[in-house]
Amino acid sequence: MINREWHLLSRPVGWPKPEDFALVETEVPRPGEGQVLVRNEYLSVDPYMRGRMSAAKSYAAPYELGRPMQGGAVGEVVASEAEGIAVGDHVLHFGGWREYAAVNARSAVKVDPAAAPLPAYLGVLGMTGLTAYAGLLRTASFKEGDAVFVSGAAGAVGGQVGQIARLKGASRVIGSAGSDEKVRLLTEEYGFDAAFNYKSGPVAEQLRAAAPDGVDVYFDNVGGEHLEAAIGSLNLGGRIAICGMISVYNNTEPAPGPKNLARLIQTRGRIEGFLVGDHYDLQLEFVREVGAWVRSGELKYRQTVVEGIENTLEAFLGVLRGDNTGKMIVKL
């Protein structure tokens, strides 16, 4: 049997190029002791993967050249050499970017396709969902009555942040997105109080118009101009949670920082970065609360699905371009 997997051939400089990657045919691996063989059904492509393509020291090890890349995936177990996971079970794991993966059973999580569609475990009930939950409620210390601004609000994380804030009693929820269609999604389906297309004018001006009384929490997925605008609109005691800065991921030179950081002195504001891996203690609480909202229809989510292992790279590049609405998923 043939297995297809994506390898990184060279480290991208600036925007990743197709020649930096190769779709390689290999034999389907055999699971070793304590491992399971998974036939992947859905793969996740996410912005953080761009950082792993660089050799620079970061919170996650760089992808190895000439080796299969990694990422979230969910699929069916077709062979097992581990107790507790049987053939026919479905598991969530990090052996993505390939059709078949032999993974250690202790790092695989069984999921129930009857409880939620399998792609949901890569998004709204998976890592991106927990990122939204932990970043808003713990890192940004959200409290009822806060006015919340979310950048990249039509993405997998941002859309969930805004809805959780609304469900938890935010006084106002504002989002930015990259198209008028996404802006309508935020206000008409996700329940944001206001939203704007950041391509239509200066972010600071549009944010002031959408939040004339300022913001108490800013959830940052974009960085750059958005971060500077949020600092400018931050209220006394405001908090900023840095989740991602997709606007600078492909820069070849360091991006300049916000010019108005001194305003944090006046507002006693706080900026804090976070990683979802530091907050897995919230997993059970997250699944219980968000799962209930998803089942009741109170929390809505979108997915952009690309079909075929051969299109995984294009799906990833689409995330960097902002082509996706909600979570970008590859269906095998």
pLDDT digits (tens, 9 = 90+) for 268-282: 999 999 999 999 999
Q: What is the pLDDT of residue 57?
A: 78
Measured distance CA(243)–CA(275) in Å, rounded? 7
At residue 40 the predicted structure's pLDDT band, cuts being 50, 70 and 90, is very high
Average pLDDT, integer, range 95-114:
95
Q: Supply the pLDDT for residue 269.
A: 97
pTM above 0.85, yes or no: yes
pLDDT at 257: 81
Q: How confident is the model at residue 60 (pLDDT cuts 50, 70, 90)?
A: confident
Average of pLDDT values for 150-156? 95
pLDDT tens sequence across 225-250: 999 999 999 999 999 999 998 887 77
Q: Write out pLDDT tens, residues 283-305.
A: 889 989 999 999 999 999 999 99
